[in-house]
């Protein structure tokens, strides 16, 4: 007689990545348990909620109910007060209500047949007879469930990754995000603040939501993000003169491209696997892409009854095929960004104020695939190649520069 509930798959974490994996595996008739430590899916949220329309398609959700604003471009500020606007001619990004978005995805997982266990925390696991025993606890009791496959979708500070001995991020960015009342500059433009000492190694943002509300946030690799936010507000007094903070939350952005995101009977997905864009910290799109590969591999491995690391390795291979080069180019762009100072940001903004560059950004800019911008920019700014080459030397990734510039050279 079995003394534990048994599942084909247990997914830890009902963020977008975990719910998408649970939905797609359950849709194939497998017995899936989705475990979430909070009382409600999607809350509290730490996210600025900026995604591309492409992400909604990938999530297979209709926009109803959670799209709050459509954004076509950006205003970029530097510390010296210089600014440049990039007015796009199409919707580049959507501001979404992340709580509702996550709830809608979890709802789809339930509709597909997954069981959702709320207010329950996974506290560890052990291996027995080719299966994984996951320890769960809630306010009332401790429980152990048995599974053929464990999916760690438990976010940037993944316990599953640690318990499995899988590598964590190379670098983390501490972020803070506030819902605020703020005078509106332009309802369809995101504002970005590039200030080396106010947002060390990252940037600040305002995402307009309409009705005088916005999301205001900042990231940093050093010290307290909340302190950085206060300094940002103080440094731009006229922009923030009528600021009223309604709600603040914080979180961690994990960066890196771990060599292993799976082992026997176990896979990591989303932030737990560092599936995050190094240029923006956005992880909803990349997490959903990871979830798609993860679920496809899981279904095949369950059907073949082979949950070995070798069989699950197809997941890593397909994730790298989808996003490996993009993330490596993103890491290179981040290296360049880290080398720029406030004077360089001023130079960049002066260039952006000249129409051709702004036009290229508007035309090719894609927050999911910043690499699409590199080739047209390199045509226009030959110095960019020098910068990229320097960064490639620093990162030991010289071949990447050739990959990026091959199309430029061949078209000359």
Interface ranges with ligand FAD (CB under 6 A):
12-18, 35-38, 46-51, 121-122, 153-155, 159, 175, 177, 217, 251-253, 270-271, 276, 281-285, 287
| Strand-pair partners of 93 | 71
C-alpha distance from residue 181 to each of 17, 178, 198, 213, 214 (Å): 30, 10, 21, 5, 6
Upper half-sphere CA count for residue 174 (Cβ side, 13 Å): 12
Nearest to 26 by CA among 372, 227, 291: 291
Closest CB to ligand FAD among residues 103, 357 = 103
Please report how close the Cβ of residue 209 comes to ligand FAD at its closest, in angstroms. Answer: 12
Please report how close the Cβ of residue 258 comes to ligand FAD at its closest, in angstroms. Answer: 14
Closest CB to ligand FAD among residues 24, 404 = 24
Closest CB to ligand FAD among residues 15, 208 = 15
The DSSP letter of residue 219 is E
Closest CB to ligand FAD among residues 121, 379 = 121
**Distance separating alpha carbons of residues 25 and 39, to the nearest angstrom:** 24
Between the CA atoms of 333, 84, 381 and 388, what dihedral angle is there, to the nearest 10 degrees? Answer: -10
**Distance separating alpha carbons of residues 159 and 45, to the nearest angstrom:** 19
C-alpha distance from residue 88 to each of 95, 143, 381 (Å): 16, 53, 21
Closest CB to ligand FAD among residues 8, 271 = 271
Burial call 188-201: b when 16+ CB within 10 Å, e when fewer: bbbbbbbbbebbbe
Please report how close the Cβ of residue 387 comes to ligand FAD at its closest, in angstroms. Answer: 27
**Distance separating alpha carbons of residues 315 and 263, to the nearest angstrom:** 11
**Distance separating alpha carbons of residues 304 and 174, to the nearest angstrom:** 41
Closest CB to ligand FAD among residues 228, 312 = 228
Consecutive H or E run containing 150: strand 142-152
Please report how close the Cβ of residue 224 comes to ligand FAD at its closest, in angstroms. Answer: 13
HEC per residue, 128-143: ECCEEEEEEECCCCEE
Q: Which parts of 45-91 fold into alpha helices (H)?
A: 53-59
3-state secondary structure of 69: strand
- Are 19 and 290 spatial neighbours (Cβ–Cβ below 8 Å)? no
Closest CB to ligand FAD among residues 74, 82 = 74
Closest CB to ligand FAD among residues 258, 378 = 258
């Amino acid at each position: 007689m079995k003394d534990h509930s048994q599942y084909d798959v247990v997914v830890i974490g009902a963020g977008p990545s975990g719910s998408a994996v649970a939905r797609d595996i359950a849709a194939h008739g497998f017995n899936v348990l989705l475990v979430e430590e909070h009382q409600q899916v999607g809350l509290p949220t730490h996210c600025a909620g900026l995604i591309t329309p492409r992400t909604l398609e990938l999530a297979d959700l209709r926009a109803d109910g959670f799209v709050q604003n459509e954004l076509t471009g950006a205003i970029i500020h530097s510390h010296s007060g210089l600014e440049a606007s990039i007015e796009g001619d199409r919707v580049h990004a959507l501001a979404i209500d992340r709580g509702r978005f996550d709830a809608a995805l979890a709802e789809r997982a339930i509709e597909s047949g997954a069981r959702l266990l709320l207010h329950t925390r996974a506290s560890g696991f052990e291996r027995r007879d080719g299966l994984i025993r996951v320890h769960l606890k809630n306010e009332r009791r401790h429980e152990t469930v048995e599974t053929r496959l464990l999916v760690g979708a438990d976010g940037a500070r993944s316990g599953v990754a640690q318990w499995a001995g899988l590598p964590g991020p190379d670098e983390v960015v501490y972020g803070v995000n506030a819902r605020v009342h703020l005078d509106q500059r332009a309802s369809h433009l995101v504002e970005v603040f590039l200030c080396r000492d106010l947002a060390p190694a990252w940037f600040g943002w305002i995402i307009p939501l309409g009705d005088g509300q916005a999301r205001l946030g900042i990231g940093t690799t050093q010290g307290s993000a909340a302190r950085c936010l206060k300094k940002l507000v103080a440094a731009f007094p006229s922009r923030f003169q009528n600021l009223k903070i309604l709600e603040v939350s914080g979180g961690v952005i994990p960066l890196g491209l771990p060599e292993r995101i799976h082992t026997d009977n176990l896979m990591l997905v989303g932030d737990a696997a560092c599936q995050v864009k190094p240029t923006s910290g956005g992880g909803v799109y990349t997490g959903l892409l990871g979830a798609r590969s993860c679920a496809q591999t899981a279904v095949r491995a369950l059907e073949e009854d082979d949950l070995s690391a070798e069989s699950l390795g197809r997941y890593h291979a397909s994730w790298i095929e989808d996003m490996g080069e993009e993330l490596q180019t993103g890491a290179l762009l981040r290296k360049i960004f880290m080398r720029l100072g406030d004077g360089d940001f001023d130079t960049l903004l002066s260039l952006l104020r000249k129409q051709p560059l702004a036009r290229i950004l508007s035309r090719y800019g894609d927050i999911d695939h910043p690499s699409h911008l590199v080739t047209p920019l390199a045509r226009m700014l030959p110095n960019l190649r020098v910068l990229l080459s320097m960064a490639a030397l620093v990162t030991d990734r010289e071949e990447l520069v050739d990959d990026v510039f091959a199309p430029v050279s061949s078209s000359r």
